[in-house]
Structure 1
Amino acid sequence: MIIKKLCIPLLAAVCFSCGNDPLPKPKAMLRLDYKKPEYSKVDVRLPFTFEKNINADKISNIKLDGINNFYGVDINYPSMKGTIYLTYKKVNATNLDTLLRDAQTLTQKHTIKADEIESIIYENPEQSVFGMFYEVGGNAASQSQFYVTDSINHFLSGSLYFYTEPNYDSIYPAAVYLKNDIKRIMESIEWKE
């Protein structure tokens, strides 16, 4: 009798303890929060200065080749698994056309995977900085590229690359954030000579 009295409430508790059927979670977007960008002037052994986001790692891999007037600078963003690569070359009487063509060809190589390539002309006559910014949409290897020059002495190009297989939907928030950093680099270029 005692067992019957215990079994009935226990059985009732087990039967009624189950609630509604589980529901799948609603679809949602991954929320990625990045620190608000703060910029500081970079003035190292280069023929130009610029501003970079202080949230990036310090500049690394400054490659100097004084013979060929070539300089390379990497601005790393480890939390986003991306790097902005800057390449500086000295302009002479014969190489400006080649430098411009090479920068434009590099961007056009991404048309195989890109959904679109938007080009935006950049001009800052006060600092003698003229160039082009390219925003590459789709699963291309590089999401943003640019070049700037004074057409007489200086030529700087830059590209954004991520250390992951290109999946535009996944890298889009980071690509937008770093696109703004690239535009800030372009806008803050000052030639030293």
Structure 2
Amino acid sequence: MASAPTGRERAKADRQSALVREAARLFAERGFSGVSLEELGAAVGISGPAVYRHFAGKQALLGAILVRVSEGLRNGGSEVVGAGGTAEERLAGLVRFHVDFALTQSDVIRVQDRELANLIDEDRHAVRRLQREYVETWVRVLAEAHPDSNERELRVRAHACFGLINSTPYSVRGLRDAPDEQTVRGLLETMALAAIS
């Protein structure tokens, strides 16, 4: 049985999470090359060199952002599908899950769109593999919902749906108020379901 983390270990984990979150925000705003290590540290109340206590450098921090979110998508999609239901119900669940991701992780979407080339090879390969696994989760459910479609068509449906939803950080930036976000959420879910139906 694993022992509970110490206060120091919890504080370190919290600082790492804060660094990942703030790095995503800064990279989304100014680009990977436009953010210094000192700015990353200052965003969480530490010096630039202190960032090295948590990550090997800026590239490692970028890798943590994109690998973690790719793992989250892959694992979350698997959980949605594992909950059962008809193919249509699971597709609706996947759409809700991805819309929630787009509305809560818009900075990460912008970082991935622009900064994938700045990852080290190992992290880039991990992100690509995790993304393929996430797409395959969608394709398997789509194959049940559309048994007459070939695999290529199903992939087009999945990617078109992602494109529609992932455009959110650009098309609805600034909509953080709950009523506006609920309207956007409902609209995105309706449009995405129509796109893959």
Question: Structure with the greater relative contact order (CA < 8 A, sep ≥ 6): 1 or 2?
Answer: 2
Larger relative strand fraction? 1
Larger relative helix fraction? 2
- Would you call these one fold, judging by a TM-score over 0.5? no
TM-score interval (norm. to shorter) = under 0.3
TM-score (norm 2): 0.24
* Larger Rg over CA atoms: 1
